[in-house]
Amino acid sequence: MAALVNVAFAIGGGSGRALTRANAGDPVVNGHAFSRRGQLAFVSRRALYVLDGRTEKLVRVAPAKEQPDAPVFSPDGRWLAFGLSHGRIGIARANGTAPSVLTARGYPRWLPNGRLLAGRTIYRIAQSTTAIRVGRVPSGLVGWARDGSSYAFVVDRFVRQKDGSFHGVELLNVAKTLDGAQTTWYRVPTRFTPSSGYTSPAIGQVVVLPHRQGLLFWLDPDHSASLAADGLALYELARPGARPRKVAVTVGSAVSLGGNSGFAVGAGGDRYAWRTKHAVACSTGSSCATVPAPTGHLSLDPAWSPDGSTLAYVAARAGRSSNFFQQTIRRWYDTRQLWLLAKGSRPRVVPESTGAAAPTWSRDGRSVLFVANDSLWLLPHLNAHPIRIAGPLFRPSFWPSYYGQVDWIDQFAWRSRP
């Protein structure tokens, strides 16, 4: 395995209470404000860093030339995986040290037991960050419950003809273990001909709810990337053979799980980020409620606290612009603010949170990390004012977007203390 460049340095001097930068070109960080809050991995101007809350030090894990992105910590908090250029995968310890590159290619995903999926291979990560192959990814695996209670698979049963046409059924199966017996929960008849294309929908992304409470899945009615960009219908399935319940139309597949019996999604079609969006909070097996927002505003980026008691979300002014130039995006972000909605209470805006996006909870549910003004900010407790922790994330005047949608969540990962 090839080693990546690794540079560690102390943050600032004295108390370390202010934002500091050790070297020109490095991000500014507030190590003191992040003290004892775990590890924060983030991409700053295409280089990957980890801010260690124990040492208050910053570690550069991968340089910009490697084009790192999408950092993700292992469930046990020991390792950090991330994408690299040309489909490669990087691995490091959670504090950013001992980085290495896997020989396998693909998108890194962690199983609940701490094993790493890379391409079609399952790895165990050794103390030296060496990846040891321990198995193959089962065919059709599309998702799993975060508690490891069940795994979902999409399996094709097609009869193919010489002219390229085929017909059959697409199965959505569930198993209690990664290699256990699969039970069919849902069937989609499928037909394709070269002349007419698909005449049936396809199962898209799948989210497995914890504690065997069911599944969420998207259906693509026309196998169309363009149609998917404007929103696909999300369904809830409670048990095998049950009739799916339509939850909402969503752009993207982000779902926030809260506690043992709830989830929230950003609903509303249209690929433009500032049109028709409204977050919905749902109880498993029952109806959903629209998350409140001021008149003329959208509700976006819903995130449940781990115990499901409080919903963090963003309210932003609705817009009609048909361009997504940087100036348009920045003006729209200036209308965004972070809100908190505790069960049984009225929603309240978080002061000094203009520009907010991608709220992320600590594991104890006492604090929130979020993006604003191209930096990461920490709400130390729910009645506090935000503190800037690290930034910038992107290059100046370059927030990569798709119709105004900026994928902030791929820029950082937070492994907070319990």
User: How do residues 364-399 score in pLDDT, each as one tens digit?
Assistant: 999 999 999 999 999 999 999 999 999 999 999 899
Average pLDDT over residues 132-159: 95
CA distances from 300 to 13, 160, 275, 398 (A): 39, 43, 11, 22
Per-residue pLDDT, 24: 66
pLDDT band at 224 (very low <50, low <70, confident <90, very high): confident
pTM for the full predicted model: 0.92
| Non-local CB neighbours of 192 within 8 Å, separated by 6+ positions | 165, 166, 167, 198, 199
Task: Beginning with the edge strand found earlier in the chain, give each strand of the sheet holding 79-83 in spatial order.
Answer: 69-73, 79-83, 88-93, 100-105
pLDDT digits (tens, 9 = 90+) for 23-76: 667 899 999 999 999 999 999 999 999 999 999 999 999 999 999 999 999 999
Over the chain, what is the mean pLDDT?
92
Fill in the amino acid letter for 54. Answer: R
**Burial classification of residue 69, based on how many CB atoms lie within 10 Å of its CB (0-12 exposed, 13-18 middle, 19 or more buried):** middle
Provide the sign of the torsion angle of the four alpha carbons 345, 349, 351, 352, taken in this order.
Answer: positive
Are 168 and 156 spatial neighbours (Cβ–Cβ below 8 Å)?
A: yes
CB neighbour class for 396 (10 Å; exposed up to 12, middle 13-18, buried from 19)? exposed
In whole angstroms, what is the distance from residue 81 CA to residue 115 CA?
11
The backbone region for 329, taken as left when phi is positive above 0, alpha when psi lies in -120 to 50, beta otherwise, is alpha
- Phi/psi at 311 (nearest 5 deg)? -105, 125
Least Cα distance to 182 among 214, 205, 208, 153 occurs for: 153
Report yes or no: 247 and 216 within 8 Å, Cβ to Cβ: yes
Length of the chain: 418
Using alpha carbons, list the distances in angstroms from residue 217 to 25, 32, 195.
Answer: 43, 42, 29
Q: Which of 353, 386, 351 is nearest to 372 (CA)?
A: 353
Exposure string of 224-245, with b = 16+ CB inside 10 Å and e = fewer, is: eeeebbebbbbbbbbeeeeebb
Long-range contacts: 54-57, Cβ < 8 Å, 24+? 54/95, 55/95, 56/10, 56/11, 56/16, 56/31, 56/32, 57/8, 57/9, 57/10, 57/11, 57/31
**Predicted confidence (pLDDT) per residue in 294-346, tens digit:** 999 999 999 999 999 999 999 999 999 999 999 999 999 999 999 999 989 99
What ranges do the domains of the chain cover? 1-136, 244-408
pLDDT score of 260 more than 90: no
Q: At residue 223, does pLDDT exceed 90? A: no
Q: Answer for the pair 118, 104: CB distance below 8 angstroms, yes or no.
A: yes
Phi, psi values for residue 320, rounded to 5°? -125, 5
62 vs 332: CA distance, rounded Å: 32
337 with 350: CB under 8 angstroms? yes
